Structure 1
Amino acid sequence: MRLSFLVCLLLLAGLAPDAAARACNAGVVFEDSDGDGRRDRGEPGLAGVQVSDGRRIVRTDALGRWSLPLSPDHTVFVVKPASHDFPTGDDGLPVFWRHVVRSPQPALRHGGLRRQTPRCHDFALLPETAPAAGSLQVLVFGDPQPKSAVDVDYYARDIVEPIVAAANGAPAADLGLTLGDVVSDDLSLYPAMKRHTASLRTPWLHAAGNHDLDFDAAGDARSLDTFRRHFGPDTFAWEEDQASFVVLDDVIYQPGAAKPYIGGLREDQFTFLAAYLDGLPRDRRLVLAAHIPFFDEPGRETFRRADRERLFELLKPFSKVLLLTAHGHVQRHHRHGPADGWFGAAPLHEYNVGAACGGYWSGVKDEAGIPDSRMADGTPNGYASATFAADGSYALRWHVARGGDADMHLHAPKVLRAGAYPGTGVYANVYMGEADSRVEYRINGGDWQPMRLSGQPDPALRTQNLLDDAAPGLRGYDRLPEAAETSHLWRGALPTDLAPGDHVVEVRAFDRWRGEIRASTSYRLETASP
C-alpha cells in the first residue's frame, strides 16, 4: 500500500470532513512498468516530475512524492516529462489530470463540472516507447467546429479517416493538437469528436475556443466547465525531447458585452507561465498553442494588448519560440515585432492555422457527399503538420483534406482573344506563402517571370460566390464564405501576343520549408472579328 494513500487514510480518520478534504493534497508520480494503472511492488516513484494546480508548480521528491496546498475544489495535473508517456483513458485521451469538485455546481445546459469524491492523486507514467532521437511529428487541427452530428461525420470522413488509412495501423503522429472550437456551441458533440480523434492513436491535446464555452455561465471563471470535464485543464504544459508545449485558454468570456469574448489571459495563467518558464532552458524550442491569434485584426483590438505585452515579456528571454493559433478560418503567418510589443532579437513567428472545417462545412457537396468547405482566403480545408528536429528547428506544412497533396491552386481564364489588351491575369494561391515568398510563372517553357503579391480576394472562390448568387435555388446547405482579401495570392499578366491556340502556364513558388513547389494550367488564344 502506497505511503501517500496511508497518509490520506490516517488524515481522513482523524479530521472532520471539510478538514480531511483539504488535507489530502498529496500523491505520488510513479513508473507504471506493466501499464495496469496501479503501483505494484518494484514500480519506482519518479523524481523531478512537475505537478501543478494551474498556478503553482512543484517537483516530486526522490521517491516521486509531491504535495500542494490545494483548495477543496481543484484540478491537478502532471507536466509530461520527455522521458515518459501518459496512459490512455477510456476516451482515448492521455490521463494526466484529475478534477476534485466538492461544492455544489451551477446548473449549466451541457453539464459543466460534476461533483466528484475526494481522493489522493497518484499519477502513472509509462516508459517512453518511441526513441528520443530524431524528429517529432505533430498534427495540428484548427477549428473542427461541427454544429451537428452531420458535421461530425464530415470531420470523420474528410479529416480523420484518410489520415488513419495513410498511417496503416500505426499511430498517425507523435502528438496531436486541436486549437480550439472543437465543436460549434453544441458541447454535447464532444464525446463523438473524441471518439473519432482517438482513432488516430495519437496523444491528443485540446485548446479551448470561443465556441467551446458554456454560454449560460455567469462569467469567464465557469465558462469552460464542460470543456474541462471532457478535456482537462485549460492551461498546461507538455514536454517532448524536441520541444516544450504550453496549451493556453486565451478566450476571455465577457457576457453582456457587445462582443461576448476577447482574446486575453487570466492572472492565474500568468502565474503558471512564469513558474513553468522559470525552469526552462532559454535555448529550448518552446511552442505556445492557443485559439485566438495573439495579433490584432486590422482596426480593432481582438487580443488585449496589455496581456500580449506581458506575455511577450515572459517569452523574450527564449530564442526559439513558435506560436500556433487558429480561429480566423484563413491561413496566414504573422511575424511579431515592436508594433505588437515584441522586442526579441528576431521577429516572433505565429502560424495562424487554417480550419479543419474550412468555411464551416459549407458549399456544394462532392460525389462523396462532403461539402467544398474552402475558407474565405480560398485555402481548401484540411490540417497542418509540424516537424520538430532535435536542434529545435521546425518545418510546417498545410495538408488539403482527404489526402490532397496540392500546395497551391491556380486560376486563369480558359479563352482570351489574340491581340487583346493583356489585362487579364493568372492567379496563384500559395497556401503557405508569406509576403516575402518568391513566386514566379512562365509561358510555354519560356523564362521565369516574377509574380506580384495581389492582396485581392481569391478569384476561384469569388466565382463560387457568383454562382451562388445566380443560382435559382440553394446549391448547398450553406453557401461558401464570401471571398476576402488573401495574404498569399500572387498575380501574373497573361500575354495575348502569342499565336492562336493553347498555351501552358507554369507557376513555381519557393516554400520556406519544402523548397520549390509547382502547379500548371493553360489558356487558349482565339482570333475574333469585331
Structure 2
Amino acid sequence: MKHQLKAFISSGLLLFSGWSYAQEMAMGTVYHDQNNNGKRDKKEVGLPNVSVSNGVEVVLTDANGKYQLPVGDDNIIFVIKPSGYISALDNNNLPQSYYIHKPKGSPENLTYKGVAPTGALPKSIDFGLQKTDESDQFRILVFGDPQAYTEQELAFFNRGIVDEVEGIKGISFGISLGDLVGDNLDLHHGYKKSISRIGVPWYNVIGNHDMNFNVTADSLSDETFETNFGPANYAFNYGKVHFIVLDDILYPNPRTGKGYLGGFRKDQLDFVENDLKTVPKDHLIVLAFHIPLEHNNGDVFRAEDRQRLFDLLKDYPNTLSLSAHTHLQNQLFYTKENGWHQAKPHHEYNAGTTSGDWYSGQLDERGVPTTTMRDGTPNGYAFIDFDNNNYNIRYQVAGKDSKHQINVFHAKVVGQGKTSRAAIYANFFMGHHGNKVEYSVDGGEWKVMHPTNATDPAYLASLYPWDNGDTLLPGRRPSDAVISRHLWWAALPATLPVGQHEIRIRATDDYGNTYETSSSYRVDPTKNYPDPPQK
C-alpha cells in the first residue's frame, strides 16, 4: 500500500510539471500539533499519507508530512482531515484547515466584502492536526436553510433552533446545507456567532442566497463565503465516512446569463475524481450540497453534471447525498433509469429546514413563527447516526418531543352511518411512499393506509385564519400548499357506535424505526332534517 501511495504522489507531481510557468508551487507540512498552539514545534512530527488539495488536484503527504501543489492567483489550499484527527477551530468552532491564496484579493466591485489581498505565497503553508478519540459510531446534527433575511429572523433562528440545541451532548459535529442567510451576507457574522453557541465543530455549505450576485463568472460568486467560511468545495473524514462538500449553484446561469442553475463546474468534478482516488471503496461517501440533484429534463439541475458525478461514484456501494433548498422534506432515490450504476438506488435526503416556510405563520409563546413547510413538515433539524458505513436519519421537529414524527388530520365529528367523504390523513415527515403506514380504531386490527399525492389538509387549514379572518394576524401569511410526498389516507369509519373513538397511526421508516401517534373523533346520531317546503 505504501508503494502505491508513493507512486500516486510521484505521478501527481509529474502531472503538475506540465502546468504553465505562471503557476507557483505551494508547499508545506501537515504535522501533529501536540500542544495545540497552532505552530510546528521542533519535536512535532509530520503526518504521512494525509490528503491536501488546491481545489482540483489532491496529493498525499510523504513520509515526513510534506506536500506540494501548484497554485495560480486564486486558490485555496486545504487539508482533508483524516479520521482520528481534528483541525484547529476558531472562536466560532469553524475548522481552520485551509489557506487562501489570492495575491490581489477579491474583485473590488463586490457589494459584500470579499478576500483581502494575501500577497506573496508563503514559503511553507503548514497544517496542524490534533489527535482525537474518533469512533466509527457517531452522530451529527444537520441544519437546512437557516436563511435569515433580517436581524429579527436571525433572532427567530436563535430562539427557535439554537436555544434548543445549545450545549447538546453526543454530537461529533454539525453541518448547515446552504442558505446560511438570505442575501444579506453581512448576516454571516451573526449566523457564525449563533452556530458557535451549539458547542461542536461546524461545517458549512454555500447556498444560492450566500452568493455574490454582482459577478460575471461562477468562480467569483463565492468570494464573500470564502472570506467568512473558507473553501466552498472541500472534504474531510470521520470514522469510516468520507464527506465531500460541494457548491452546486452555477451563477450566472450558463444557459441564460441570468439567475442560477443547479450543477457543477468541470474543476469541481475533477476535484471529486481526484479526491475519491484516496478513499477506500468500502467507506461511506456522503455528499453535501444545497440544490437537490433531482431535475426535470435538466431545467433545475444540469443533467450532464449529475451523470458525471454518478459515474465517479459507480465503484462505491455505500453512498448518501444531503441537500436542502426546497423548504420541503423528501427522500429521493436514483436508479439505473436516472443514470445510477448500481442495483441499490442512491439515496438523497432533501432535508427539512430550520427556517421552515421562511419564518412565516402565527407567532407562538416564544414569539417565534410556527413556520410549517408547504408540504406539512414542521420546521426542524436532523440527526444522522453513523455506524461504520451505515447510517440512520431521524428528523427532529423544533420545540417538540422526539416522538413527534407524524401529524394526523381528520374530521372531529361524523354522523353515524351517514355517507361521508371524511378521511384520515397521516403526514409522516421522514416517510416516502415505499414505507408502510397503518391505522387502527379503538384497538382493532391494523389496516394499511393509502399513499396519496395531495396537499396536506392540515396545512391548508392553517391558511384559513389568514384568508378568512377579519383582523390582521401577527407574523406573515404562510406560502400556498404544495403536493406532499409523504402523505397517506384512509376512510374515516362512520358506522361505529355513537361516542368517542380513538385512532392510532403507526409508521415504519427505512431504518426499522416505528413511530406511533393517536387522535380521536366522535360519532353522533344522524339528524333527520325535514324535507324542503313544496312550491
TM-score normalised by L of structure 2: 0.91
Secondary structure of the residue aligned to 1:237 is: strand
Structure 2 unmatched ranges of 5 or more: 1-20, 530-535
Instruction: Answer yes or no: is the 8 Å Cα contact 1:53–1:77 preserved in 2.
Output: yes
Instruction: Name the residue aligned to 1:396.
Output: 393
Q: CA deviation at 1:259?
A: 5.5
Give the Cα separation in 2 of the matches to 1:140 and 1:96: 21
Please report how far the alpha carbon of residue 419 of structure 1 lies from its aligned counterpart in structure 2 after TM superposition: 1.8
Whether the 8 Å contact between 2:433 and 2:451 is mirrored in structure 1 is yes
Pick aligned residue for 1:164 from 142, 148, 166:
166
The aligned counterpart of 1:142 is 144
CA contact (8 A) 1:218 1:255 kept: no
- RMSD over equivalenced CA pairs, Å: 1.9
| Paired residue type of 2:71 | L
Instruction: Classify the secondary structure of the residue corresponding to 2:341.
Output: coil
Tell me which amino acid in the other structure corresponds to 1:29: V
Q: Secondary structure at the match of 1:354?
A: coil
Q: Distance in 2 between matches of 1:67 and 1:495?
A: 72
How far is the alpha carbon of 1:511 from its aligned partner?
Answer: 1.8
Q: Which amino acid aligns with 2:282?
A: D
Match of 1:296 in 2: 295
Does structure 2 retain, via aligned residues, the 8 Å contact 1:21–1:72?
no
The aligned amino acid for 2:51 is Q
- 8 Å CA contact retained: 1:162, 1:403: no
Q: Is the 8 A contact 1:92 1:195 kept in 2?
A: no
1:220 pairs with one of 211, 218, 222: 218
Instruction: Measure the CA separation in 1 of the matches of 2:22 and 2:200.
Output: 35
The SS at the match of 2:305 is helix
Q: Which amino acid aligns with 2:33?
A: D
1:313 is the counterpart of 2:319: no
1:516 to 507, 514, 517: 514
Aligned to 2:6: none
Residue 383 of structure 2 corresponds to 385
Q: Which residue of 2 aligns with 1:74?
A: 75
Return 97-106 or 285-294, whichever deviates more.
97-106
Separation (CA, whole Å) in 1 of partners of 2:365 and 2:53: 49
| Paired position in structure 2 for 1:151 | 153
- Map of 1:15 onto structure 2: none
Distance between the aligned counterparts of 1:255 and 1:409, measured in 2? 39
Task: Give the Cα–Cα distance (whole angstroms) in 2 for the partners of residues 146 and 474 of structure 1.
Answer: 23
Q: Distance in 1 between matches of 2:283 and 2:476?
A: 45
- The match for 2:498 is 500
* Residues 329 and 355 in structure 1, CA contact (< 8 A), matched pair in contact too: yes
Q: Which residue of 2 aligns with 1:94?
A: 95
**Shift in Å, 1:161:** 1.5
Alpha-carbon offset, residue 278 of structure 1: 1.7
Report how far residue 474 of structure 1 moved. Answer: 3.4
Q: Which letter maps to 2:401?
A: G
1:473 deviation in Å?
A: 3.7
What is the Cα deviation at residue 515 of structure 1?
A: 2.1
Q: Which residue of 1 aligns with 2:18?
A: none
Q: Which amino acid aligns with 2:293?
A: F
Letter matched to residue 501 of structure 2: H
- Match for residue 529 of structure 1? 528
How many Å separate the matches in 1 of 2:390 and 2:448?
A: 29
- CA-to-partner distance for each residue in 1:160-215, whole Å, 9 max, x for gaps? 121125x2xx4x61121111111111110001111111122212111111111111
Alignment check: 8 A CA contact 2:141 2:384 kept: yes
Letter in 2 for 1:413: A
Q: One-letter code of the match for 2:447?
A: Q
Q: Decide which of 180, 186, 189 is 1:182's aligned counterpart.
A: 180
* CA distance in structure 1 between the aligned counterparts of 2:24 and 2:408, rounded to whole angstroms: 65
Q: Deviations over 1:385-437 (max 9, x none)?
A: 111102x1110110001353211111111111122113201111001111111
* Residue 265 of structure 2 is aligned to residue 266 of structure 1: yes
Kindly report which structure 2 residues correspond to 1:349-364, keeping only aligned pairs within 5 A, or say none.
349-364=347-362
Residue correspondence of structure 1 range 430-509 to structure 2 within 5 A? 430-509=428-507
Q: For structure 1, which segment, 253-262 or 61-70, has the greater mean C-alpha deviation from structure 2 after superposition? A: 253-262
* Equivalent pair of 1:219/1:255 in contact (CA under 8 Å): no
CA contact (8 A) 2:111 2:214 kept: yes
Aligned 8 A contact 1:136 1:242 in 2: no
Query: SS in structure 2 opposite 1:487?
Result: strand
Counterpart of 1:5 in structure 2 is: none
Partners of 2:104 and 2:118 within 8 A in 1: no
Using the TM superposition, name which of 196-205 and 139-148 deviates more: 196-205
Percent identity (aligned): 35
Provide the C-alpha distance between the structure 2 equivalents of 1:395 and 1:214, rounded to a whole number of angstroms.
35
The aligned amino acid for 2:126 is: D
**Residues 448, 23 of structure 1: alpha-carbon distance in 2 compared, 3 angstrom cutoff:** closer
Give me the whole-angstrom Cα distance separating, in 2, the residues matched to 1:276 and 1:258: 31
Q: In the aligned structure 2, how far is the partner of 1:267 from the partner of 1:474?
A: 51
Identify the residue that residue 58 of structure 2 maps to in structure 1.
57
Name which of structure 1's ranges 178-187 and 213-222 shifts more when overlaid on structure 2: 213-222
CA contact (8 A) 2:34 2:130 kept: yes
- Output the CA distance in 2 between the equivalents of 1:242 and 1:408: 32
The residue matched to 2:204 in structure 1 has which SS?
A: strand
Q: Does 1:34 align with 2:35?
A: yes
Q: 2:129 aligns with which of 125, 144, 165?
A: 125
Relative to structure 1, the CA distance from residue 75 to residue 131 in structure 2 (aligned partners, 3 Å threshold; closer, same or farther) is closer
Whether contact under 8 Å (1:422, 1:495) holds in the other structure is no
1:181 maps to a residue whose letter is: D
Contact 1:163 1:403 in 2 (8 A): no
Report the counterpart of residue 12 of structure 1 in structure 2: none
Q: Residue in 2 aligned with 1:253?
A: 251
Q: Distance in 2 between matches of 1:280 and 1:444?
A: 54
1:253-297, Cα deviation, whole Å (9 max, x unpaired): 126938601110011111111111122222211101110001115
With the length of structure 1 as denominator, give the TM-score of the two structures: 0.92
CA distance in structure 1 between the aligned counterparts of 2:105 and 2:274, rounded to whole angstroms: 31
Check whether the contact 2:174–2:202 (CA below 8 A) recurs between aligned residues.
yes
What are the Cα deviations for residues 309-360 of structure 1, in whole angstroms up to 9, with x where unaligned?
A: 1111111111001111111111111110133211213111111111110100
- Partners of 1:36 and 1:280 in 2: CA distance: 30
- In structure 1, the gaps of 5 or more residues are 1-19
Aligned position for 1:111: 113
Q: What residue number does 1:7 align with?
A: none
3-state SS of paired residue (2:166): helix
Letter in 2 for 1:217: V
Question: C-alpha distance in 2, partners of 1:479/1:304?
Answer: 33
Tell me, in whole angstroms, the C-alpha distance in 2 between the residues paired with 1:135 and 1:442.
36
